[in-house]
Amino acid sequence: MLRPYRLERELDRAVTQWLDWLPRWDPSTARRRLSPCVACPSWAIDLAFEEVPHGALHALTTSLDAVVTEHVRRSVALQPFLSDEAVDGLREQLRREASAWVGRQHAQIARALDAFVEPKVQHMAALLLADLGG
Ligand SMILES: [Zn+2]
């Protein structure tokens, strides 16, 4: 098992990069997905971010998934005889740690969402309503 501080450092980097990017998030450039996202719904529930627009959240969950996957990969490289069940258990455990870690940044993330995402969502909603109105 890798030392947890490494996981936390990488999660910290992922969240920091996402927070740096968040002001540039633009809802009008969101591409319509042909199939539902497999990553976001479960992360959204774990992180209590069900209300966050998918495009904004997706950038975070893909980074978190990448951190978890990389740690699983490194653990398997160090312990090549792990069973599939052990690898699944490791992935689940790391994912729970990642959720808990991000959960501790929840207030800071919520402030960033309020500052950078919410006004754009409101603006889009206002434009839609204006369109409907005439
Ligand atoms: Zn997604």
Going from the Cα of 53 to the center of ligand 1, the distance in angstroms, rounded, reads 10
Going from the Cα of 52 to the center of ligand 1, the distance in angstroms, rounded, reads 11
Q: What is the pLDDT of residues 14-47, one digit of tens each?
A: 999 999 999 999 887 766 666 778 889 999 999 9
Going from the Cα of 64 to the center of ligand 1, the distance in angstroms, rounded, reads 12
- CA-based radius of gyration for the chain: 17
73: Cβ contacts below 8 Å, ≥ 6 apart = none
Please compute the mean of the pLDDT values over residues 70-92 and round it to a whole number.
93
> Per the structure block, which two tokens stand in for 123?
């603006």
Going from the Cα of 81 to the center of ligand 1, the distance in angstroms, rounded, reads 32
How would you class 94 by CB atoms within 10 Å of its CB: exposed for 0-12, middle for 13-18, buried for 19 or more?
buried
Q: What is the pLDDT of residues 90-105, one digit of tens each?
A: 999 999 999 999 999 9
